[in-house]
Amino acid sequence: MSPEQEVAKRRTFAIISHPDAGKTTITEKVLLHGALIQKAGTVKGKKSGQHAKSDWMEMEKERGISVTTSVMQFPYADCLVNLLDTPGHEDFSEDTYRTLTAVDSCLMVIDAAKGVEARTIKLMEVTRLRDTPIITFMNKLDRDVRDPIELMDEVEEVLNIACAPITWPIGMGKSFKGVYNLLEDTVILYSTGQGSVIQEERHIEGIDNPDLDAAIGDYAAELRDEIELVRGASHDFDLDLFLAGELTPVYWGTALGNFGVDHMLEGLTQWAPAPQSRATDVRTVEAADTRFTGFVFKIQANMDPNHRDRVAFMRIVSGRYEKGMKMRHVRLGKDVRIADAVTFVAGDRAQVEDAWAGDIIGLHNHGTIQIGDTFTAGEALKFTGIPNFAPELFKRIRLKDPLKTKQLQKGLVQLAEEGAVQVFRPLRNNDLIVGAVGALQFDVVVHRLRTEYKVEALYESINVATARWVMADSERELEKFRDKAYDNLALDGANNLTYIAPTMVNLQLAIERHPEVRFLAIREN
């Protein structure tokens, strides 16, 4: 297969959803439909994942399991699909956000009984940084859900994206009959209780087909009326608008009942973009470029109790990785030979022989790789647009033994470089403030400080609502602001000036008082 073909057949996506909408169940079914059929059901289950928050072994077990699903690759139709896991429940973190900047499309899963929920709104905001194309799956149609038209209206209004229904549900809950495909004019009937196998689907061609009346009775007439209404009131699918992130194709079904997930996969493989080009400080790198390039978007530690190491996840942007190849670690200006990149195929670490643009590979990392690092075939360029996100939770961290300040700082800076948390040092005192996007990260940091840096630390609550990186057009203006807002300013792990706001109102006032300063919730490496 030519390099162009290798790239063209790849689809790299992630799932965005609110906890409990069905991401895990959909992932299982996606794998069931992919080649990993025998593995379906082994994805992190909620029951096995429940853990006492302070119990690290359990936590690690949880992480160990969920890491096997960090990247899942499977063939579907003529494509090779990469599904990147987006940590969701307790393990929600900045990684979740950053992973979304390493994919070419996203699947948005909505619990159709609940509609658009908070986490989904937040994650959609992140996808907007790159105008990532979004495919929507309305889940749990086997339950009594909300009115489908109302649900689509809510998506359009709250998430500001046009909806183009590709399928349309017939009934719901106990009377869920299946879906009608508006593009193909076909009804696909639902049969219950077949969740763990791929069931035969019964198709009826044409909405006016009398077979439909025989199959679903009165629902047939209702469906005909409703579809007329839906066709009139909703958007037609438009590939360009989809690729621009302005319109989402919408599918309906039940992940638990394994119905509709394959319809969605058809859409994904047919329409979602192949690996996209990416900007660097020098030039735009095209996916079809034969020279190897990639960037690191996530670093994970203690992934497997048997391998106490860290793995850096790299998205290949162009070219081909081959086992044993030499890469330039651009930030360090050093060439490294990579003989043992890994991928994670449902439970086992597997060695990659080769990988192409759009694929994710894991590099063993002994502390020399940071989030945002670029690797090339020798060229000196750096990928831009790999963001840090302002934390949403803050705690002051304190040492039990004050003599170990140096170790604590070193540990925190390194953990911050991995992207697990961020650390801020206020200008006006010697506090150390840890900021995170997900609460579990606080526990992880204390545990790792203890085991890896031999430091006993504990947290105290602190009155911080949010943080913003600050920038101005000139050094002079920033200096002036630094003097005026001294009490609220801190330096982050990479010495960037940051405004620490005790309340959102305080932040708002600061923004109003200092129009010459930009307050950024997102900072690019």
**Which residues line the annotated binding site for GTP?**
17-24, 85-89, 139-142
- Which one, 19 or 385, has the nearer CB to ligand G4P? 19
If binding is defined by CB under 6 A, does position 223 make contact with ligand G4P?
no
Residue 244 buriedness (CB in 10 A; 0-12 / 13-18 / 19+): exposed
Which amino acid is present at 440?
A: L
Q: Give which of 170, 368, 387 is closest to 279, Cα–Cα.
A: 387
Nearest alpha-carbon partner for 235 in 243, 247, 224: 247
Strand (E) or helix (H) holding 100: none
Indicate the DSSP class of residue 332.
T
CA angle 435, 299, 458 (to 5 degrees): 35
Q: Please, what is the minimum distance in Å from the beta carbon of residue 107 to ligand G4P? A: 12
Whole-number Å distance between alpha carbons of 289 and 318 = 5
> What is the C-alpha separation between 281 and 289, in angstroms, rounded?
17
Among 3, 8, 20, 129, binds ligand G4P (CB under 6 A): 20
17 binds ligand G4P (CB under 6 A): yes
Query: Pattern 29-58, binding to ligand G4P, x per CB under 6 A?
Result: ----------------xxx-----------
> What's the closest the beta carbon of residue 462 comes to ligand G4P, in angstroms?
30
In the three-class reduction of DSSP (H, G, I as helix; E, B as strand; rest coil), residue 289 is classed as coil
Q: Quick one: how many helices (H) and strands (E) in the chain? A: 15, 33
> How far apart, in Å, do the first and last CA atoms of the chain sit?
35
Residue 381 tokens, joined: 């360029």
428 forms part of the interface with ligand G4P (CB under 6 A): no
User: Shortest distance, CB of residue 509 to ligand G4P, whole angstroms?
Assistant: 38
What is the nearest approach in angstroms of ligand G4P to the Cβ of residue 91? 11
Site for ligand G4P in 142-181 (CB under 6 A): 142-143
Taking alpha carbons only, the member of 165, 114, 98, 169 closest to residue 136 is 165
For ligand G4P, the binding residue among 106, 162, 204, 255 (CB under 6 A) is 255
Residue 18 CB, nearest distance to ligand G4P (Å)? Answer: 7
92 in Cβ contact with 444 (< 8 Å)? no
Q: Which stretch binds ligand G4P (CB under 6 A): 136-144, 223-231, 334-342, 475-483?
A: 136-144
Identify the bridge partners of residue 304 per DSSP, sorted by sequence position: 307
| Residue 180 or 252 with smaller CB distance to ligand G4P | 252
Nearer to ligand G4P by Cβ, of 3 and 19: the residue is 19
22 binds ligand G4P (CB under 6 A): yes
Query: Distance (Å, rounded) from C-alpha 245 to C-alpha 248?
Result: 7
Using the contact rule CB under 6 A, the part of the chain among 207-215, 254-262, 466-474, 503-511 near ligand G4P is: 254-262
Query: Applying CB under 6 A, which part among 140-148, 224-232, 476-484, 500-508 lies near ligand G4P?
Result: 140-148
Determine the size of the site formed for ligand G4P (CB under 6 A): 20
Binder among 16, 21, 123, 485 for ligand G4P (CB under 6 A):
21
449 binds ligand G4P (CB under 6 A): no
Using the structure block, give the residue that is written with the tokens 């950053």. 98
Q: Which of 9, 10, 11, 23 binds ligand G4P (CB under 6 A)?
A: 23
**Least Å distance between CB 299 and ligand G4P?**
23
Which DSSP helix (H) or strand (E) runs through 17? strand 10-17
Q: Which is nearer to ligand G4P, 201 or 524 (CB)?
A: 201
Q: How many whole angstroms from its chain centre is CA 360? A: 13
Q: How many other β-carbons are positioned within 10 Å of the β-carbon of residue 84?
A: 22
The reply to whether 445 sits near ligand G4P by the rule CB under 6 A is no
Q: Indicate the annotated binding residues.
A: 17-24, 85-89, 139-142
Stretch of residues binding ligand G4P (CB under 6 A), selected from 23-31, 221-229, 338-346, 514-522? 23-31
| Phi, psi angle pair for 489, to nearest 5° | -105, 150
Backbone angles phi, psi at 497, to 5 degrees: -70, 135
Query: Which of 31, 68, 79, 88 contacts ligand G4P by CB under 6 A?
Result: 88
Contacting residue, 139, 181, 343, 525, with ligand G4P by CB under 6 A:
139
Ordered alpha helix ranges (H), 169-318: 210-216, 218-233, 239-243, 261-271
- Using CB under 6 A as the criterion, which residues of the chain lie in contact with ligand G4P when the complex forms? 17, 19-25, 45-47, 88, 139-140, 142-143, 254-257
